[in-house]
Structure 1
Amino acid sequence: MELLSFENLGNLVMLIFLQAVLGFDNLLYISIESQRAPAADQARVRRLGILIAIALRIVLLFIMIQLLEALSEPLFSLNWEGVITGDFTFATVVFLFGGGFIMYTAVKEISHLLSVDHLEEGVNGAKRKSAASVIALIVFMNLIFSFDSILSAIAITDVFPVLAIAILASGAAMLLLADDVSSFIEKNRMYEVLGLMVLLIVGVVLLGEGGHQAHMHLLGYEVVAMSKSTFYFSVVVLFIVQILQTGYRRKLEKVRAHRAKLVQKAAP
């Protein structure tokens, strides 16, 4: 099969679009997590994290193509009737572990943002993570995020060059957008909580996907995967609510400022 065939070119366009859509939550996480690094290193952290993650994602892609059948074989099974049952493959374990870890990270960061310590850190700029630890976490989380997108991509085609080009294209897009997204979140800190809520939903999606693929039953109930359309609809609703709240808050501030001026003028 020739690389530049019409079928491969069509698959490449579809894969680039797929990688761009599925890479949104990844880019959001990178933008938020990079702000934990020292201010002078944040741009470098984003670039290095993305570049290393792209290289490892291509390696992961090659390995998964070679071992696709082996990875689909159950690693272990649980048969605790009434509590938990299921057949767990390597992919389902990654989804379940990754989903749980992402949810833990999102909840921890949300609670941190709401704590008094966070307000003090905002003044002092203290308690930053090292650049190396942030890069390592970005690479690790990138691989978790990319596992689902790679499996979806392999379902479209197993031609390695086409898949690799799509990954490189999505990586280039992340490199171009990472600084702008991070700057936007830095200037509009209210959207940081929104981004963490999106990550929380991503964790739920991965848990549902892993449980569904493992045919898992938890406490007698079947674990059902959340559809991608439901996920993106939820994200859109979150953004619409945030935009409406921001607009309403600004309107209230103008009304209060206007009333304050009227009170001042009326005062003797």
Structure 2
Amino acid sequence: MKRTPKSLKKVTLMELFSLENLGNLVMLIFLQAVLGFDNLLYISIESQRAPIADQARVRRWGILIAIALRIILLFIMIELLEMLAEPLFSLDYEGIITGEFTFATIVFLFGGGFIMYTAVKEISHLLAKDHLGEGVEAKKRKSAASVIALIVFMNLIFSFDSILSAIAITTVFPVLAIAILASGAAMLFLADGVSEFIERNRMYEVLGLMVLLIVGVVLLGEGGHQAHLHLFGYEVVAMSKSTFYFSVIVLFAVQILQSGYRRKLEAVRAHRKAVMPGTDQPGGGAV
């Protein structure tokens, strides 16, 4: 179905505070908060690549610049929505690959691939034994400017999904802008806390990277679905948001259960060692 042209709705101050706009604002703030979770996770993990003294500043400036650019992107996307929906090129190799690619689908596909590459690279680094025992300092540090640039770039990729979802609810620019500013304020408030939590609980860094890996799959699926992409005769289907969040909840639940079970095993071993010295040695019994 062809979308009808959309443009910015001009409203008076009285109309801005109508029940409809206030209801849309509440819904958009909730939507931005939910969709911003993976973005915040990425910012918290990537900021640890910057020099330790600059990490808080990197997160703060990365979010501020990204939010300003997101509002500009919102204005542009509303005005050029029909143009962005027009196919830029198509592929028609029947039985191999077919599809029509718009600007938005290219962003989704490129962004999804880049996020997956980043997550796999970071997971590989965490599993590498080359710098075993060096801890966090084994990470290759980047300059604060390069980390800020990467955070802003990735934030814009994440923005496409949230902005397109927001435009489907309303095209009243002040309402959309207030929702984006509110989500930005929430990210500024939570970024340091999330980063400190990951720093103290290194096991959750792998969990965060796995979530980002799933986000990459979601973006690839969304881009392929919007492009009506078929690979070797099979249609690329988008992962539903409910499936994504269910997967994330399962990952966190498994991690929490494993952490609790690990603490139980350590307590049992400590108790056995206290009452029966030598049971923690090889051949002395194990839990």
TM-score of the pair, normalised by structure 2: 0.90
**Deviation, structure 1 residue 260:** 1.3
Residue of structure 1 equivalent to 2:141? 128
CA contact (8 A) 1:12 1:162 kept: yes
**Deviation, structure 1 residue 257:** 1.1
Q: Which runs of 5+ in 2 are unaligned?
A: 1-10, 280-287
Q: In structure 1, which of residues 192, 196, 214 is the aligned counterpart of residue 205 of structure 2?
A: 192
CA contact (8 A) 1:53 1:142 kept: yes
Counterpart amino acid of 2:44?
S
**Deviation, structure 1 residue 232:** 0.2
What is the SS of the residue equivalent to 1:243? helix
CA contact (8 A) 1:95 1:206 kept: yes
Counterpart amino acid of 2:119?
A
What is the SS of the residue equivalent to 1:211? helix
Distance of aligned partners of 1:265 and 1:227 in 2 relative to their CA distance in 1, 3 Å threshold? closer
Residue of structure 2 equivalent to 1:183? 196
Q: Which runs of 5+ in 1 are unaligned?
A: none
Q: In structure 1, which of residues 215, 229, 251 is the aligned counterpart of residue 264 of structure 2?
A: 251
Residue of structure 2 equivalent to 1:15? 28
CA contact (8 A) 1:208 1:226 kept: yes
Residue of structure 1 equivalent to 2:89? 76
Distance of aligned partners of 1:185 and 1:82 in 2 relative to their CA distance in 1, 3 Å threshold? same
What is the SS of the residue equivalent to 1:100? helix
Q: Is 1:202 equivalent to 2:211 in the alignment? A: no
Distance of aligned partners of 1:121 and 1:57 in 2 relative to their CA distance in 1, 3 Å threshold? farther
What is the SS of the residue equivalent to 1:150? helix
Distance in structure 1 (CA, Å) of the matches to 2:53 and 2:227: 44
CA contact (8 A) 2:49 2:139 kept: no
Distance in structure 2 (CA, Å) of the matches to 1:159 and 1:170: 17
Distance in structure 2 (CA, Å) of the matches to 1:112 and 1:68: 40
Q: Is 1:226 equivalent to 2:226 in the alignment? A: no
Residue of structure 2 equivalent to 1:167? 180
CA contact (8 A) 1:54 1:168 kept: yes
Instruction: State the Cα deviation string for residues 33-92 of structure 1 (Å, max 9, x = none).
Output: 111111100000000000000000001000001100000000000001111100111110
Distance in structure 2 (CA, Å) of the matches to 1:6 and 1:263: 70
Instruction: State the Cα deviation string for residues 172-200 of structure 1 (Å, max 9, x = none).
Output: 00000000000000000000000000000
Distance of aligned partners of 1:227 and 1:258 in 2 relative to their CA distance in 1, 3 Å threshold? same
CA contact (8 A) 1:121 1:127 kept: no
Instruction: State the Cα deviation string for residues 197-233 of structure 1 (Å, max 9, x = none).
Output: 0000000000000000010001110000000000000
Q: In structure 2, which of residues 84, 89, 103 is the aligned counterpart of residue 90 of structure 1?
A: 103
Equivalent pairs, count: 266
**Deviation, structure 1 residue 115:** 0.5
- Determine which structure has the larger helix proportion and give its number: 1
**Deviation, structure 1 residue 118:** 4.5
Percentage identity across paired residues of the two chains: 86
CA contact (8 A) 2:131 2:138 kept: no
What is the SS of the residue equivalent to 2:95? coil
Residue of structure 1 equivalent to 2:54? 41
**Deviation, structure 1 residue 4:** 1.4
Distance in structure 1 (CA, Å) of the matches to 2:22 and 2:173: 13
Superposition CA RMSD, Å: 1.4
Distance of aligned partners of 1:32 and 1:118 in 2 relative to their CA distance in 1, 3 Å threshold? farther
When structure 1 is superposed on structure 2, of 122-131 and 190-199 the one drifting more is 122-131
**Deviation, structure 1 residue 5:** 1.5
Residue of structure 2 equivalent to 1:146? 159
Counterpart amino acid of 2:53?
A
